[in-house]
Amino acid sequence: MNFIYNAPVERGAPGTLMPSANRPMLSLPQHIKTLLLGVKLAALLILTTCLQVSAKITTAQKLSISFHNGSLEKLFAEIEKKTQYVFFYDVAILKGTKPVTIEMKDANVDDILKTSLKGQALDYSINDKTIFVKKVERVSGARVIGGPGNGVPAAVTGVVKSESGTPLIGASITIKKLKKTGVTNENGEFVLRDVPDGEYDVDITFVGFEQVTTRIKVVDHQAVLTAAMKQAMGKLDETVVKGYYNTTNRLNTGNVTTVRSEEIREQPVANPLAAMEGRVPGMYITQTTGNPGGGFKVQIRGQSSIFSGNDPFYVIDGVPYPSKAPSIINSSLQFGSPLNFININDIESIEVLKDADATSIYGSRAANGAILITTKKGKAGKMKVDVNAYAGIGKTSPNYKPLNTQQYLEMRREAYKNDGETPGTADAPDILVWDTSRYTNWAKVLAANPAHYSDIQTAVSGGTTNTQYLIGGGYHRETTSFPNSFVNPGADQKASVHFNLTTSSEDKKLKVSLSGSYLTDVNTVQSTDLTTRALTLAPDAPSLFNPDGSLNWAPISPGQLGTWTNPYSYLINKYKSQTSNLLSNAFISYSPVSGLEIKVSAGYTTTQTNEVATFPAAAYDPGYGIGYAIPVSAITASTFNSTNTRSWIVEPQAEYRINLGKGLFSALVGMTFHENNTYVQTSNASGFVNDALLENLASAGTVSTTISAPQYNYSAGFGRLSYNWQDKYVVNLTARRDGSSRFGPGRQFANFGAVGAAWIFSNENFFKRSLSFISFGKLRGSYGTSGNDQIGDYRFLDLYSSTAYSYQGLLGTYPSNLFNPDLAWELDKKLEGGIELGFLKDRILITASYFQNRSGNQLVGTPLSTVTGFGSIPSNLPAMVQNTGLEVTVNTINVRSKNFRWTSSINLTVPRNKLLAFPSLSSSSYKNTYVIGQPLNIKKVLHYIGVNDTTGIYQFATSKGEATYTPQTADLTTIVSTNPKFYGGIANSIQFKDFKLDFLFQFVKQTGVNWYSVIIAGQQSNQPDVVLNRWQKPGDKKPFEMFTQDPSSLAYRAANTYGKNSDLTYSDASFIRLKNVSLSYIIPGGWKQKAHIQNARIYLQGQNLLTITKYLGVDPESQGGVLPPLHVWTAGFQIAF
C-alpha cells in the first residue's frame, strides 16, 4: 500500500520519472527505456532460461548514514548504494530543494527520508523496493474542485486508484471524526465538502482492497488526497477471473474455484492437471498413466453428454486452447494431454468455472465447464531475477505381489493336471525348456526403475507504474520407470520461454499488453507399456541377454524360433514426438470517457506435433530368418504422424461502469470470431531395407497416408449486465448468441444465457448488530444454459472421400457422409444454489453449493439400418442426463501468531449422475449399455456367486437366481457403476518461523475394475500370489477356482468369458493418497544482502507418497495394467535477486 499527497499533474507537462541511476538522462520516454532494459534482460534470459516471481521483501532494511550538506539527489544515490531500494522521481521537482544533513545509525529508510524531506515540499512512498518521490503542492487552479475565490465551496478532494493505477469506482472515503463519507465516481474521484481546518484521520475502504487510513491536514477548508490501494490478501478478496471480467470471491454470484501459483509451485509436476487433483470441488481428475507426458481424464461436474465430447473448455489468457492432445500413436501415453505443452511455471492462476452464471458467457462450448489459465505478469518495481531449480526421482511400487518361481510352477503343473493334459515344449516352455531354478522379479526389472526429474525455471521481471515486463524460461525433464539405459532412453523433455509486456499511457487511458509463450517438447517414451508384461511374465523366464550382449530369445536349439518374446524387444521399437507450441495474445484497451472502456483482445495459437514410431527388424526373433529367409524389408515398418493446429481469435469488447443510485452498474458487450484449422497427416510406411532408415519416410518401400484437415469457425456476440447495490445485493446477467460451423444452414445459431444473484446478508445492518460473530454471509444462486458442439466437424454435409487404394490406376471416391441438415446443439440447463459463511473475522470460511445440471437434445449417433448404406447418423435425441451434486469447502486459519501459522483447506464433492430419459431405449442398440435412472457410466454384468465346491469352477447367477457356469446375455442383470461416490482433498499449510510445510491428502470413494479382470490362473502368465488360495479338491471352499490352462475348459471360460464380465471383476477402488508434501525453508542471514540476494529458499517436495487402499490391483487411480502414477521425491532451491 502506498499513498501520496500530491497535486494532480498538470496537463501538457508530464513529469518524467527516472531511476536515479540513469540520471544523466537521454530524452527518451520512460517506457521506451524500460523496453531497452527488457532487451538487455532478454540476453540474460537466453543464458539462464526462465522464471519465477519472487516473494516480496517485507522487512525494512536498516542502514547507517552520515551525510553533510549535500543535495537530495546525492542523498538518494547514497541510499541506493547502501540498500536495494531504487528511487523514481521527476528531476524537476528537486529544483529549489534545500541541501540536507543527516547523521543516523541503524535507521530505517523510512526515518531517513522523513527527516531529509521535512520541509522540502516533497513526499515519498515505498512500494516494495521502489521509492517514489513526488512534490506536494497546494491545489492549483487547473483542477480545483472547490476552493476560495471560485465561488465553489472549499472541499477535500482526491483520487483513489489501485496499485496499478486503475481508478477505483465506488470506494468509500470516511472522516470518522466528522461522520463524513464520500464515494468515488467513475474516475475514482471524490469530494468531501465543509471540512473544517485541522488534521483528520481518513479511512478509505474498497472491497477487495486493504483499508487505507491516513492523516490529512486541511487548510482553508481544502486538501487533496491521492491514495493507491493494495489488493487485499484475504481469501474472500482474492480476484476471480470470470471469462471476460473479474470479480472477487466476496462479490461473485457464480461458482468458480481458483488454484493459484503458490499451490502449484509446491508440486513437482509438469502438467497443471496433476497439480489440480484433489483441490477443486466438482472437478474429477484421473491420471491415467505414470509415464511422463501421459494422459489425464478430466470431468467437471460429471458426464453430461452421452456420446459427444465431455471435455471442459480451456482458455489461456483469453485464447481458447485445444482440449485434446495431438498425440495419437503412442498407446503408453494414454492419448497424452494438451496441457503437457504449456509450462506449468508460467501459470499465475487457474480458474475452474462450473455453474451457469460463470459458464454462460462461453455459451455453446462450456457445457462441460471452463478452465481459465492466467499466466504470470510483471509487476512494477526494481528488476527481479528469480531462479528456481529442483531434481529428484520417481518410483513405482505397485500394490501387487506376484508368485515366485516355486509357486508359479506349482500353479502351472496343477493346471495341466486339472485339465488332464501333458505340457509340451511348444505350450509350456516355462516348465520344460527354461531353467526352473531361475527367479526374476520382472516388475522390478521392467517397470520399477527410478525415473529422474530435473527442472529449472528462471524469470526476470519488473517495471514502472506504467510499464511492466516479465521474461522467463524453463527446462523440465522427466524419464520413465521402464528400463531406459537401453538403446532409447524414454523421457519427456520440454524447454520454454514466456514473456509479458504491459504498458499504458501516462493518463492510463490507453493500455496495451502483449504476452507470448513458446514451448518445445520432445517425448521418447516407449510406446509399449511394459507394466502388464512385467506382472505377467513367468518368474523363471530366461535372461534378457545372451553372453554376447544380443537379445536372448531362448530357442530350444539354435536357429529355431524362440520360446518367448523378449520384453526388451519392445524397447527397440522407438517412439519420438516433437511438439512445439506457440501461444500469443495481445490486448488493447482505451477509455475515451470515464467509465467506458473499449477493448480488443486477439490471440494466435499454433501447435505442431511430429511423431514417429519405428518397428525395426532388430526387434524380431532372428529365428524367423530375418535377413536371409525373410528380407528385412518384409518386416520393417514405421508410423509417422504430424498434427498441426492453428487457431486465431479476435474479440472486440466494450465495458461501461457507472454509479447508479447507491450501487455500481456495469455492462459488457463483445463479439468473438474464432477460427481453428487442424491438419493431421498419418503415414504408415513399410519395406525399409535397413533399420537405420526407419525415421526417413522417403526410404519406405510402401507408404499409405491418411489426411484430415478440418476447419472450425465460430462466432458469437455476448453481453453481461451487473448491478451491485452497496455490496449487499449483486445481480449478474450474462447472455451469448453463438454460431458454429459444425451445424447446417439454419441450425448454426443458438442463444444461451444465465442469471446469477447474490445477497451478502452480513452487510445488512441488522445482521451486523445481532450476529456479529458471523463475519461474512452470502447466499447465491444461478440458473442458465450452455451448450455443446463437440461432435466433430462437417457432420451435416454430404461428402465424398478417397478410398484407401486405387483400382485400375484410379483412386475411388466414395460417399462418406450422409446429408444431415437437422443437426443442432446439445443444451445444458444448470441450476445452482450456494451459501458462503465466514466466522471469527473470516478465520473460518465455509462454502456449500448444490447443483443440478440437465443436458438434453443429446447428440447421438442414431443407428440406421445398413440398408441405407450407413450404420448411423448423428442426430439430436431428446434423451436427458442429469448431474447433481453437493460441493463443500472449508478454509480455516487454525493458528495465526507471529511465528506460527497453520491453515487448512478441505473440499468434498458428492456427485450423482443419472440418465433421466432415453426415448425407445429398450429397442435401441444401447439397451444393454444404459438403464434409465442409473448413471451413464454403468455396466450390466453377471452376478458372481462363488466357486462351486464340488467342481471348483466359478459360478454365476442366472436371471432366475440359479447357479450356472454358462450364463446367457439375459443373465446380465447386475449393474455396477464406476463413477466416484464422493471425492475431495484435505490440504494443510503450516508455517513456523522460516519453515513451511504443506501437504494434501486426496480421497476418492469409488468402485473399479480389479485384478480379476486379468486373472486366469494356470495359463502361462504370472499371477498375484492370492491365487494360491484356490480350489483343489471337492469340498474346498475357496475364493479362487481351480487352476486351468486349456482355453476350451469350462473353468477357463468361466474366468475368461464370464468372470471378466461379472461383478467379480469390480470391487472397491477407493483410496486416500498423500498427494503432495512440500517442506521449504527460507534461508535467513545477512549474507544475502551482501550477495544482493533478496530471498533464498530450499525445499523438499513429494508427490503420491502414500496410498491407503483396499484395491485389488496395481493402482486404484490409473487402474488396469498401466504404469501407475509415480512416487516422486525432489529437492530444490529458489533464489531471487
Partner 1 sequence: MKIYSRWPLLLLLLTQVACKKFVQINPPITSISSSQTYDNDLSAASAVTSIYEEMMRSNQNTSGGSLLSISCIGGLVADEFKNYQTSNAALSQAYTNSLSSTTGYVWGDIYKQIYIANAVLAGLDKSTGVSAAEKRQLIGEAKFMRAFQHFYGTNIFGGIPLVTTTNYQVNNVISRTPQPQVFRQIIADLKDAEGLLPDDFVTPTGGTVTTERVRPNKWAAASLLARAYLYTQAWDSAEAQATLVINNTNLFSLLTDMTGVFKMNSNEAIWQLQPVAPGYNTYDAYTFVLTGAPGSSRFPVALASTLINAFEPGDNRRVIWVDSITTGGKKYYFPYKYRANTTSSNTAPVSEYLMILRLAEQYLIRAEARAQQGNLQGAAADINVIRQRAGLLPTSATSQPDLLTAVYHERQVELFTELGHRWFDLKRTGNVNAVMGSPGNVCQNKGGTWSSNWSLFPIPASEIIINSNLAQNGGYY
Sites for partner 1 among residues 737-796 (CB under 8 A): 737, 739-741, 745, 748-749, 793-794
* Contact flag: residue 864 with partner 1 (CB under 8 A): yes
CA atoms within 13 A on the CB side of 907: 21
* Contact flag: residue 723 with partner 1 (CB under 8 A): no
Q: Work out how close the CB of 864 gets to partner 1 at its nearest, in angstroms, rounded to a whole number.
A: 5
Do the beta carbons of residue 54 and residue 1136 sit within 8 Å? yes
Interacting positions 431-470 with partner 1 (CB under 8 A) = none
Q: Is 958 helix (H, G, I), strand (E, B) or coil?
A: coil
* Contact flag: residue 710 with partner 1 (CB under 8 A): yes
Binding mask of the shown chain, residues 879 to 918, with x at each position contacting partner 1 by CB under 8 A: ----------------------------------------
Q: Work out how close the CB of 649 gets to partner 1 at its nearest, in angstroms, rounded to a whole number.
A: 12
Nearest to 537 by CA among 438, 680, 452: 438
* Contact flag: residue 671 with partner 1 (CB under 8 A): yes
Nearest to 983 by CA among 275, 259, 302, 271: 302
Q: Provide the 8-state DSSP code for 525.
A: -
Interacting positions 175-234 with partner 1 (CB under 8 A) = none
What string of H, E and C letters represents the secondary structure of 747-814?
A: CCEEEEEEEEEEECHHHCHHHHHHCCCEEEEEEEEEEEEEEECCCCCCCCCCEEEEEEEEECCEEEEE
Which alpha helices (DSSP H) does 210-347 contain, by range?
Answer: 261-264, 272-276
Q: Please provide the DSSP assignment of 323-346 as one string.
A: SS-S--S-GGGTT--GGGGS-GGG
* Contact flag: residue 520 with partner 1 (CB under 8 A): no
Q: Is 485 helix (H, G, I), strand (E, B) or coil?
A: coil
Q: What values do phi and psi take at 178, rounded to 5?
A: -100, 0
Q: Which stretch binds partner 1 (CB under 8 A): 222-230, 668-676, 895-903, 1117-1125?
A: 668-676
**Between 57 and 797, whose beta carbon lies closer to partner 1?**
797
Binding mask of the shown chain, residues 20 to 39, with x at each position contacting partner 1 by CB under 8 A: --------------------
**Between 744 and 946, whose beta carbon lies closer to partner 1?**
744
Among 424, 701, 878, 1034, binds partner 1 (CB under 8 A): 701
Q: How far apart are CA 158 and CA 228, in angstroms?
A: 11
Interacting positions 798-827 with partner 1 (CB under 8 A) = 798-818
Q: Which stretch binds partner 1 (CB under 8 A): 77-85, 400-408, 567-575, 858-866?
A: 858-866
Alpha-carbon 6 to chain mean position: 44
Among 715, 726, 884, 1095, binds partner 1 (CB under 8 A): 715
* Contact flag: residue 711 with partner 1 (CB under 8 A): yes
CA angle 162, 167, 171 (to 5 degrees): 80
Q: Is 5 helix (H, G, I), strand (E, B) or coil?
A: coil
If you count DSSP H runs as helices and E runs as strands, how many of each does the chain have, helices first?
14, 57
Do the beta carbons of residue 647 and residue 676 sit within 8 Å? yes
**Between 549 and 745, whose beta carbon lies closer to partner 1?**
745
**Between 104 and 596, whose beta carbon lies closer to partner 1?**
596
CA angle 785, 788, 790 (to 5 degrees): 170
**Between 556 and 634, whose beta carbon lies closer to partner 1?**
634
**Between 342 and 1051, whose beta carbon lies closer to partner 1?**
1051
**Between 140 and 711, whose beta carbon lies closer to partner 1?**
711
Q: Work out how close the CB of 686 gets to partner 1 at its nearest, in angstroms, rounded to a whole number.
A: 7
Among 445, 582, 669, 848, binds partner 1 (CB under 8 A): 669
> In what side-by-side order are the strands of the sheet with 180-183?
180-183, 172-175, 198-205, 212-218
Binding mask of the shown chain, residues 620 to 639, with x at each position contacting partner 1 by CB under 8 A: ----------xx-xxx----
**Between 987 and 1016, whose beta carbon lies closer to partner 1?**
1016
Q: How far apart are CA 251 and CA 727, in angstroms?
A: 7
**Between 450 and 717, whose beta carbon lies closer to partner 1?**
717
Alpha-carbon 356 to chain mean position: 21
Interacting positions 89-118 with partner 1 (CB under 8 A) = none
Among 707, 916, 975, 1106, binds partner 1 (CB under 8 A): 707
Q: Which stretch binds partner 1 (CB under 8 A): 33-41, 46-54, 77-85, 702-710?
A: 702-710
Q: Work out how close the CB of 551 gets to partner 1 at its nearest, in angstroms, rounded to a whole number.
A: 22
Interacting positions 554-583 with partner 1 (CB under 8 A) = none
Q: How far apart are CA 441 and CA 400, in angstroms?
A: 12
* Contact flag: residue 1093 with partner 1 (CB under 8 A): no
- Residues 163-197, buried b or exposed e (16+ Cβ, 10 A)? bbbebbbbbbbbbeeeebebbbbbbbbbbbbebee
**Between 748 and 882, whose beta carbon lies closer to partner 1?**
748
**Between 152 and 630, whose beta carbon lies closer to partner 1?**
630
**Between 715 and 988, whose beta carbon lies closer to partner 1?**
715
**Between 669 and 1026, whose beta carbon lies closer to partner 1?**
669
Interacting positions 385-404 with partner 1 (CB under 8 A) = none
Q: What values do phi and psi take at 80, rounded to 5?
A: -60, -40
* Contact flag: residue 690 with partner 1 (CB under 8 A): no
**Between 488 and 862, whose beta carbon lies closer to partner 1?**
862
Nearest to 711 by CA among 666, 754, 680, 670: 680
**Between 45 and 823, whose beta carbon lies closer to partner 1?**
823
Interacting positions 526-555 with partner 1 (CB under 8 A) = none
Among 59, 437, 557, 865, binds partner 1 (CB under 8 A): 865
**Which three cell numbers mark 422?**
501333458
Nearest to 342 by CA among 319, 309, 367, 365: 319
Q: Work out how close the CB of 626 gets to partner 1 at its nearest, in angstroms, rounded to a whole number.
A: 11
* Contact flag: residue 702 with partner 1 (CB under 8 A): yes
Interacting positions 1000-1059 with partner 1 (CB under 8 A) = none
Do the beta carbons of residue 800 and residue 816 sit within 8 Å? yes
CA quadruple 786, 792, 793, 796: dihedral positive or negative?
negative
Q: Is 114 helix (H, G, I), strand (E, B) or coil?
A: helix
Among 71, 406, 708, 968, binds partner 1 (CB under 8 A): 708
* Contact flag: residue 852 with partner 1 (CB under 8 A): no
Among 46, 709, 975, 1108, binds partner 1 (CB under 8 A): 709
**Between 406 and 702, whose beta carbon lies closer to partner 1?**
702
Angle subtended by helix axes 109-117 and 72-82, to nearest 10: 180
Do the beta carbons of residue 6 and residue 228 sit within 8 Å? no
Interacting positions 234-273 with partner 1 (CB under 8 A) = none
Q: Work out how close the CB of 874 gets to partner 1 at its nearest, in angstroms, rounded to a whole number.
A: 12
**Between 863 and 878, whose beta carbon lies closer to partner 1?**
863
**Between 485 and 865, whose beta carbon lies closer to partner 1?**
865
Q: How far apart are CA 128 and CA 464, in angstroms?
A: 12
Interacting positions 912-971 with partner 1 (CB under 8 A) = 923-925
* Contact flag: residue 684 with partner 1 (CB under 8 A): no
* Contact flag: residue 656 with partner 1 (CB under 8 A): yes
User: Contacts with partner 1: how many residues (CB under 8 A)?
Assistant: 71
Q: Work out how close the CB of 674 gets to partner 1 at its nearest, in angstroms, rounded to a whole number.
A: 9
Report the first-to-last Cα separation within the chain, whole angstroms: 22
Own/partner contacts of 101-104, CB < 8 Å, gap of 24 or more, are: 101/67, 101/68, 101/69, 101/70, 102/65, 102/66, 102/67, 102/75, 103/65, 103/66, 103/67, 104/64, 104/65
